[in-house]
Amino acid sequence: MLRKIGRLFLIKNRFEAFAVIYALALGAVERGQAYLTRFPGFGGKLLFLATTCAVFMAGAKILDCLKFEQARAAEKPPEPEAAPPG
């Protein structure tokens, strides 16, 4: 049962990866806008830049990991599922 729920949190294709990156970007821009109002001037702009750069780095890592996992899955044959008891 937990395995089925856990599969919901796996990123399986590029569309899902881009959806996650988009959600991260929305949150980062919202946080960056809060930084701009709380810290006016150069400090706020620098923090805004840091939040958006973090999304770029996380997005690149998500896409690289997705590519790596797809290549690994193509190399090895799928494992047979265990037969149900009984």
17's CB contacts (< 8 A; 6+ apart) are: 11, 59, 62, 63, 66
Residues in the chain, pLDDT under 50:
none
What pLDDT, on the 0 to 100 scale, is given for residue 78?
A: 62
pLDDT reported for residue 75: 86
Count of the separate structural domains present in the chain: 1
The domain of 59 spans 12-73
Start-to-end CA distance of the chain, whole Å, equals 18
Please give the pLDDT value at position 70: 85
